[in-house]
Amino acid sequence: MGEVVSETERLVLRNWRSGDREEFVRNLNTPSVMRWLGGVQDASTCTAAFDRIDGFQRDFGHTFWIVERKSDLAMLGFCGLKRVNAPNTSLTGEFEVGWRFREDSWGQGYAREAAIASLDLAFGRFAAPHVVALTVEGNASSRRLMQRLGMGRRADLDFNDPRLAAELNPTIVYRLDAANWPAARSAALVQPDAGPTDSA
């Protein structure tokens, strides 16, 4: 029940527990969070997505876990590992890292912190040979995070998801091999340049 899967400096990744679904919908089923995920979802779509999340945990022992901030126990979103379940791709069944965070928590490095913990689990406990991440061209923050984690762009693996609108196609693919994680991890831990950024 809500047991901790991983702990980082500021965050806990834990299993889903009773009441999480309602809180998640309240704080994350918003136009900005869902901008590149097909927009705000109706109740039955949300339930189906949560059921899939439970199913990954049941079937594989990992899923998109709840991310909680240690300082105030706020639920920030989810991050973790599922398996590719999109149609029309050769990637089906591969380890996939993913994330979704509340808008008021963006830009503070939380997703990077949780994703590093997730990739540690992928290559450690779950012995993944490689991990993919899927997004769309327009989702700049998610793409940036993939790059920040040392994931390589794999245009050869991109695919069209017939369930999605034109704006959300193609699905673009990033991939990280287990052998590259130690070096990528060290680079990902480096804090972004805190110096002046205004070059105007």
Question: Which residues make up the interface to ligand COA (CB under 6 A)?
Answer: 33, 36-37, 99-101, 106-112, 135, 139-142, 144-145, 148, 192
Q: Alpha helices of the chain — where are they, by DSSP H?
A: 20-28, 43-60, 110-123, 140-148, 181-189
| Alpha-carbon gap, residue 189 to 200, rounded angstroms | 28
Shortest approach of ligand COA to residue 33 CB, angstroms? 5
- Specify the residue, 14 or 148, whose C-beta has the smaller distance to ligand COA: 148
Shortest approach of ligand COA to residue 37 CB, angstroms? 6
Count the Cβ atoms, other than its own, within 10 Å of residue 100: 18
Q: How many CA atoms lie within 13 A of 113 on its CB side?
A: 22
- Specify the residue, 3 or 74, whose C-beta has the smaller distance to ligand COA: 74
Shortest approach of ligand COA to residue 1 CB, angstroms? 26
- Specify the residue, 14 or 143, whose C-beta has the smaller distance to ligand COA: 143
Q: Alpha helices of 61-194 — where are they, by DSSP H?
A: 110-123, 140-148, 181-189
- Specify the residue, 1 or 115, whose C-beta has the smaller distance to ligand COA: 115
